[in-house]
Amino acid sequence: MTHPKGTEAGPSEDRDAEGAPGAPGTPATGLTSSQVAERIARGEVNDVPVRSSRSTADIVRANVFTRFNAIIGVLFLIILVVGPIQDGLFGFVIIANTGIGIIQELRAKRTLDSLAVIGESRPTVRRDGAKVGIPTGEIVLGELVELAPGDKCPVDGEVTEADGLEIDESLLTGEADPVVKQPGDRILSGSFVVAGSGAFTATKVGKEAYAAQLAEEASRFTLVHSELRSGISQILKYITWMMVPAAIGLVLSQLVVQKHDVSEAIRRMVAGIVPMVPEGLVLLTSVAFAIGVVRLGRKHCLVQELPAIEGLARVDTVCLDKTGTLTEGGMDVRELRPLGQPEPDDRAPYERVLAALGASDQHPNASLRAIADAYPSERGAGLRLTATLPFSSARKYSGATFVDDGASESQGRSWLLGAPDVLLAAGEEALAEVADLDAQGLRVLLLAEARTDLGLDDPRIAEDAKPAALLVLEQRLRPDASETLAYFAEQDVRAKVISGDNAVSVGAVAGELGLPGADSPVDARKLPDDEEERGRAIEDGAVFGRVTPQQKRDMVGSLQSRGRHVAMTGDGVNDVLALKDADIGVSMGSGSEATKAVAQIVLLNNSFATLPSVVAEGRRVIGNIERVANLFLTKTVYSVLLALLVILWQVPYPFLPRHLTLLSSLTIGIPAFFLALAPNKERAKPHFVRRVMRYAIPAGLVAGTATFCSYLFARSQYGGAEALSAETSAATLTLFLIAMWVLAIIARPYTWWRIGLVLTMGVAFVVVLVTPFLQEFFALKLVGTTVPWTAVGISVVAGVALEFVWRLVGRKFPA
């Protein structure tokens, strides 16, 4: 095959007489401790850091240097110049909010970093003749690195040992077919082993290695595409466009029309502009995500990409790999059934072969481990291994050739062990027996004798294999799998089991766990060729067997093309391609390094039961952000409307910055913080912007119109030097009551703490109105009874309108 341009991994210069990178004399024992120390001293070490989160500097920069912090910062500096300091309270609120954001993200960073250490890849290398696991960052040039199925190649190198070694480079090159590697072949970092085993000598490490950043990028705290974030960014973009003309219009109206002095005009302009900025919404989104990471971290769930919390909450289809997800990794041998030979004593020759097969693979899969446990290597004494064929998900079988001690290699016998429906021809009598066992949820392997005139890697070797015996294995079901599947069913999330095992067997296991539709398993080999028909079959089916790795990937893509948000769980190399293409990839902590590298979420405790917690956390984040977004954007809408009405009516702007800071804190900022962190089990829904704006716009229009009417009425009632202060107080009372009504609507359904939250905000405003010091500080004083009670009446009418809008929106745009 060809490698991408510029990725040649040729040997580097020979630096030592022995064990040099790429040198023919590199011993099988690996480097010595002194050689490792010399290379480290020369800087020839794989020093590309694998970080699970952004650096502290990045977090501070991301929270401080934002577009809206810049806008608010400039307005704050202006107020510091024109005074008084009370009108600059919004600046201190922004400083506090930014500090909270930084602290929460630093907490999330510490959680991610500690979890990353637990789940960190530790390749096996040979040093001083011994095998040792070391962190990826400690590999040096010339290191002898061992490879086993599922291992991800951490650096570039040259193969020195190969035993049926097959490498998948699809994540690097896009080529789906595994590549058979022989000694002397090059290996690229970022590729992974799908079959066989071997070892390679590191020829390029650190930043020189091809795809050196792959592992770093795969496990780094990232802010990838998120509907929530992109929706908020879209809203903020529109607000930015409105702010400049509004600011110019307000200044001109206050200077030219109202004849205010420059300082007063600027204060009123700042008062009109600041509330347009929903700065707290951006903060709360980051805080909610960060707290979600911390909460999930306590459950040993590593979220490698932050918006994955949101993504899993939007998922409506979960594709599950059976082995390692619904079942535990281990299996037990239940029975050995010779074919065509009824005598019990006839099992002995096959048990001997199975014992030799179990001992032949240095990196056995779950099936071979069960065989090795049931048939110890001593029972295979006298059989000498001459050739092996490691198990491959694509082939569905493994093989080995043995020779009796003292016999020549020409007298060897080849054996295959794998899927009966792959190794047996259609119509074979044994298939009926296999089907009966599969229906019981048992796993069945066929031991068959193969032709010796063909190499084990010859595709034709399985065609004329002679069936010898059936090996029946029992799988260990995860005790929590049934409850987890039930949870997904309750939450209207469709679960689909996609496995490489026999479809009937997989269906039996899924049925035992209570999965709906498990009684109609589908053999993936019989899926229709027509794309539309195949898509419908995948959409309707619940259990699929005999699925190849490429088919898993295609099935995920088919579901996505039909509008599904797909999560894929798995732990083996055969799941990697599907995990990478799925909207959300979930890997078990005990899974292969390749699966953990491409997954967005890693369940370090290997518990499938953790998934509901991740889904629930995502729903809490999204549901609550949508809830509080209504508060922030309602404020934005009524602020824009008030600015426009002031310009058109040519009246003084009714508020000073301190008034709106008080209102925003009591009706939005403080309550939103608690609401954003509250439990929420509502299923995430698409079209975030449309869903939020369909209530925020009419609610903001009602609030702005009612407030301006109250303000105009107050202007008609008051006169004299103190008139503006009395008019502002009436308008502030009106806007507070309406904003509290919006808060009361958004806080539903009520719980004791939500009722307490709303009442506390109301009491806080009353305290401001009745406390002389606070009255003076906030320039608020209600004058007379007519105007204040009229303001209350206008607020009640506006509240009724808000209730009507809420119900109308709910009927016209149902959830």
Catalytic residues: 321
**Rounded to whole angstroms, how far apart are CA atoms 359 and 224?**
46
**Rounded to whole angstroms, how far apart are CA atoms 590 and 255?**
69
- Helix count and strand count (H, E) for the chain: 28, 21
φ and ψ at residue 454, rounded to 5 degrees: -115, 150
Beta bridge partners of 37: none
What's the angle, vertex CA 257, arms to CA 256 and CA 262, rounded to 5?
A: 45
- Token readout for 497 is 């089991």
The helix (H) or strand (E) run that includes residue 646 is helix 611-649
Q: Residues with Cβ < 8 Å from 807, sequence gap 6 or more?
A: none
The helix (H) or strand (E) run that includes residue 303 is strand 301-303
Nearest to 742 by CA among 785, 789, 692: 692
Question: How many CB atoms are located within 10 Å of the residue 762 CB?
Answer: 17
**Rounded to whole angstroms, how far apart are CA atoms 272 and 275?**
7
What DSSP letter does each residue of 498-518 carry, written as one string? E-SS-HHHHHHHHHHTT-TTT
Q: Residues with Cβ < 8 Å from 528, sequence gap 6 or more?
A: 534, 537
DSSP code of residue 784: S
Q: Are 557 and 313 in contact (CB under 8 A)?
A: no
**Rounded to whole angstroms, how far apart are CA atoms 295 and 308?**
14
Nearest to 676 by CA among 740, 621, 742, 739: 621
Look at strands 317-320 and 566-570 and give their pairing.
parallel
Distances, alpha carbon 456 to alpha carbons 451, 461, 622, in Å? 9, 7, 54
Nearest to 142 by CA among 209, 201, 205: 201
Q: Would you call the peptide bond into 84 cis, given omega within 30 degrees of 0 as the criterion?
A: yes
Nearest to 309 by CA among 290, 325, 326, 284: 290
Look at strands 443-450 and 466-477 and give their pairing.
antiparallel
**Rounded to whole angstroms, how far apart are CA atoms 323 and 216?**
28
φ and ψ at residue 640, rounded to 5 degrees: -65, -45
Q: Are 569 and 607 in contact (CB under 8 A)?
A: no
The residue whose two tokens read 């959680």 is 111
- Token readout for 319 is 């594709």
What's the angle, vertex CA 343, arms to CA 338 and CA 348, rounded to 5?
A: 60
Q: Are 566 and 556 in contact (CB under 8 A)?
A: yes
What's the angle, vertex CA 175, arms to CA 170 and CA 178, rounded to 5?
A: 70
**Rounded to whole angstroms, how far apart are CA atoms 191 and 199?**
14
Measured N-to-C along each axis, helices 723-746 and 657-664 cross at an angle, to the nearest 10 degrees, of: 20
Distances, alpha carbon 444 to alpha carbons 297, 395, 421, 543, in Å? 39, 16, 10, 18
Nearest to 319 by CA among 7, 73, 580, 646: 580
**Rounded to whole angstroms, how far apart are CA atoms 75 and 709?**
28
Q: Report helix, strand or coil for 283.
A: helix
Q: Are 586 and 599 in contact (CB under 8 A)?
A: yes
Q: Report helix, strand or coil for 727.
A: helix
